Homo-oligomer: A and B are copies of this chain.
């Protein structure tokens, strides 16, 4: 079973444009063309494409994905390089995840503040503090005076 570019677009949630763009960027050297020059994807191609999506969705840049694909095309000799690349990327993802966790905590703190029964009072206090700070430093008050 093989797939046309349209079918692959539907299967992957990438647009046809994006698939062609990826090919232009050297991400799809493994995709063969039929006699009319049409891209023809096999099951194995879909598998590798899924790996590409996986790397893209975790924030890898196209240039680095191309490097990985180049290694894949070179056969088993490039396994060490593939490992190095993926391990480094894995590290980057972990850093990224940790940062998000920290930020998420901060957002939850804000949400808790807004959820408090005396939220209005607390927000007013903050506002008063900031306005006081401005006044104390001879700065204009940028807040809307309701």
Contacts and interface: CB of A to CB of B under 8 A. Distances in A.
Contact of A86 (B54, B58, B75, B110): B110
User: In the assembly, how many copies of this chain are there?
Assistant: 2
For the residues of A in contact with B, the DSSP-based class is helix
Interface stretch (A4-12, A14-22, A123-131): A123-131
Interface in A43-76: 43-45, 50-51, 54-55, 57-58, 73-76
B134 A73 contact: no
A29 to B, nearest CB: 6
A119 B81 CA distance: 13
**Size category of the binding interface on chain A:** 35 or more
Interface string A123-146: 110110110011001111111101
B83 A129 contact: no
A83 B107 contact: no
A107 B55 CA distance: 8
Interface of A: 2, 29-34, 40, 42-45, 50-51, 54-55, 57-58, 73-77, 79, 82-83, 86-87, 89-90, 93, 96-97, 99-100, 103-104, 106-108, 110-111, 114-115, 119-120, 123-124, 126-127, 129-130, 133-134, 137-144, 146
